[in-house]
Amino acid sequence: MQMQVLTAASSLPRATLLRPAAAEPWCQSFLQLQAPSKRPGIMLHCKAQPQGQETRERRQLDDDEHARPPQGGDDDVAASTSELPYMIESIKSKLRAARNSLGETTVSAYDTAWIALVNRLDGGGERSPQFPEAIDWIARNQLLDGSWGDAGMFIVQDRLINTLGCVVALATWGVHEEQRARGLAYIQDNLWRLGEDDEEWMMVGFEITFPVLLEKAKNLGLDINYDDPALQDIYAKRQLKLAKIPREALHARPTTLLHSLEGMENLDWERLLQFKCPAGSLHSSPAASAYALSETGDKELLEYLETAINNFDGGDGMSYGGLCPVKDIDDTAMAFRLLRLHGYNVSSSVFNHFEKDGEYFCFAGQSSQSLTAMYNSYRASQIVFPGDDDGLEQLRAYCRAFLEERRATGNLRDKWVIANGLPSEVEYALDFPWKASLPRVETRVYLEQYGASEDAWIGKGLYRMTLVNNDLYLEAAKADFTNFQRLSRLEWLSLKRNNLQAHGVTEQSVLRAYFLAAANIFEPNRAAERLGWARTAILAEAIASHLRQYSANGAAHGMTERLISGLASHDWDWSLLYALDELIDLHAFGNASDSLREAWKQWLMSWTNESQGSTGGDTALLLVRTIEICSGRHGSAEQSLKNSADYARLEQIASSMCSKLATKILAQNGGSMDNVEGIDQEVDVEMKELIQRVYGSSSNDVSSVTRQTFLDVVKSFCYVAHCSPEIIDGHISKVLFEDVN
């Protein structure tokens, strides 16, 4: 499909072994399973605090409080599991409600001030405000220091432009003299700070709109030093920017300049009004829309502002830009990635709209590059299909170079958002490509990167997006991850009590095998698949270690034949055979047991004619087949899969990629360096086809979950090949054992 560019708690299952007690020590159960007792979770209390005023999001949660389970008792930590469904339902309810609103942001004092300036449209020549409730909101929401703006974060441009707008609005109607005087004093005392402001975090269009408000203040006779040195640079920037604006282009097509129309003069409104958004606004900007309403009296603009005022109790929130006619690469990249990863075969040609002379931009005519736009574009560029042209590769190279340069200079701040976790997000993306990023690792890291309500967004003033940055999201995510960790630790305790140490299996290797399984298949109801993966990997490593010893004296073939023969005859005269037979009986029943036994035979046969590294591909297929059998999917679809060319190709790609990656891993651990050169490039080419077959295939022969299993296993090989042992150990600790704070 062609994509249109877009704008801005379970317990561990019991395994009963119907086998007589073994007389020999080596016949002790490899699995060492026992039924764990249920243990309580951890209570995570909501710490969300409204910024400056009560938010509708908090009121909604308070309204839903009666639906929550009872609190208190002997052990508050037990509430984690029971509380999570209520958190999720509250989040869903809020998102559903947002469908019928103009957006969910904190109120913008600047935009509200422009709305307050609108003269009554049917006043018959008398001057009175069209929106008196906007005046009331301004009077009610002045901060203690006399300013208006974001109460939780100080950026001088935000405080001054909000305060100047509100003072001008109050002075225009001659009301609330005390608030005007306090606001004016704040401006007088802080105007000099503009000369020291951080240009990286400039308010949008500040150099265009702030001088216009100063001119209004001057006409009202407000006592401000209009010749302050800090203002001279702003005046100069305004003249320079206005000189660069092609007036004909402004009126000919939608541009970002629509967002700051209140800072411009001599406009052709008849031509500009054709660029209104479907909701009736100009570029979803209440200030620009209010200015246009004052100039034109347009009914759609009036209806838009009336709706906004009603939604925000007299103030005005900046709306989302989903229906804006001006497109941007940031939202487009996020949508492209999301759609491709959910099975939509969208075209990569969408990014051609944002390229000129080998460089990429977020908005046409932008004055500086956005870090987050390039970050999101870099992430999107890694979801590549074979049929894509070179555009995505070019985009990835451009964005990576930009991000690396910003990291090298220590400048990982963005011009549109103030988020303490953003530098860590960018660094993670650069250090771990998508193919080598495991879901639970990425989630655990993001729990520390996500700023929730502490993050602020930069528009014409600072604002918060409560449906994007929300403390309840973080609380729910931490509760969910805590539940995952509790279950994982129980599963790990059962796995580490094995009797395979004599065959080269260490506690660390068991832990790593379990981690790779749990980091991909983490859902509570998929324990059988997760444990099947882990146990198979552990036992395969034990057998492989044993066979490598025989390979040294040329006896590997005979040992392999013995294993295959014993597997077929249920001859348990050897501990590894006993463990293997036990594993098959645990995870498969009936015909599925035969299928799993056959999968192991095929894996064992690979040792008779292949080198150690190349068996990685067969190990990958063994893992895939085990996961599918443990899930129950393989048995019901086995016959159709045998005849499926699509399934056969998935096996071929996965085997080829993992064979190459296993060779690279072996070389990194001191093995032969032969045939290692060029592996990464070859794997990248095959990864494109695998991604397309997993997310872009129209065939119904193979289920989407089975396709995902192939990708999960391949990505685990990519991860091990990409990461040093120290990094992997650090991720194991963070994902499984470090409590989420």
Q: Which domains are present in the chain?
A: 107-317 (1.50.10.160), 329-468 (1.50.10.130), 472-737 (1.10.600.10)
Give buried/exposed letters for 430-459 (b at 16+ CB in 10 A, else e).
eebbbbbbbebbbbbbebebbbbbbbbbbb
Structure tokens at 2: 């062609």
Nearest to 256 by CA among 335, 339, 330: 330
* Sites in the chain below the pLDDT cut of 50: 7-78, 317-320, 572-573, 612-613
Residue 59: the pLDDT is 34
Residue 741: the pLDDT is 85
- CA angle 33-35-39, nearest 5°? 130
User: pLDDT tens-digit profile of 327-350?
Assistant: 899 999 999 999 999 999 899 999
Residue 104: the pLDDT is 72
Query: Positive or negative, the Cα torsion across 377, 443, 10, 493?
Result: positive
Nearest to 720 by CA among 357, 372, 341, 441: 441
Q: β-strands 456-458, 462-463: how paired? A: antiparallel
Residue 551: the pLDDT is 65
Work out the number of other CB atoms within 10 angstroms of the CB of residue 278. 10
Work out the number of other CB atoms within 10 angstroms of the CB of residue 100. 6
Residue 301: the pLDDT is 96
Q: Between the CA of residue 133 and those of 159, 506, 612, 671, what are the distances in Å?
A: 22, 71, 76, 75
Residue 63: the pLDDT is 42
Query: Positive or negative, the Cα torsion across 73, 75, 78, 80?
Result: positive
Nearest to 658 by CA among 588, 592, 576, 603: 603
User: pLDDT tens-digit profile of 277-310?
Assistant: 888 899 889 999 999 999 999 999 999 999 888 8
Specify the DSSP class assigned to residue 456: E
User: pLDDT tens-digit profile of 657-674?
Assistant: 999 999 999 888 877 676
- Strands in 462-463's sheet, in edge-to-edge order, are 417-418, 456-458, 462-463
Q: Between the CA of residue 603 and those of 326, 374, 434, 571, what are the distances in Å?
A: 56, 44, 29, 19
Residue 560: the pLDDT is 76
> Residue 317: helix, strand or coil by DSSP?
strand
